[in-house]
Amino acid sequence: QVQLVESGGGLVQPGGSLRLSCAASRSLFSFNVMGWYRQAPGKQRELVATITTGGSTNYADSVKGRFTISRDVTKNTVSLQMNSLKIEDTARYYCNARKGGGDYWGQGTQVTVSS
């Protein structure tokens, strides 16, 4: 059983920063890809950023230059540093881990950007 636990969400003003963390119940090397997705009310879940076992990263165009995904393999955590937050970044953010045919999700953490 894989568990992913997100933390770090909250309320922030436009232009502010937040750092999300995802703690995995097993070694990050157990997965091919880990990432962050988000879902806003009334919208489909969308990719935000991913990082592979080899450390390659990928970002949605809407967050490039503002968000940074990173990992700490000693702590089995994946983080998402979010800077210059915009109102449209408001969503529930989910941690994802992928291994072969398996797709694992955390419960999510809410990020609200509002003045």
Per DSSP, the residues of 48-92 read: EEEEETT--EEE-TTTTTTEEEEEETTTTEEEEEE-S--GGG-EE
Per residue in 65-89, pLDDT (tens digit) is 999 999 999 999 999 999 999 999 9
**pLDDT at residue number 67:** 98
pLDDT in tens, 15-59: 999 999 999 999 998 899 999 999 999 999 999 999 999 999 999
The pLDDT value recorded for residue 79 is 98
pLDDT at 100: 83
pLDDT of 6 reads: 97
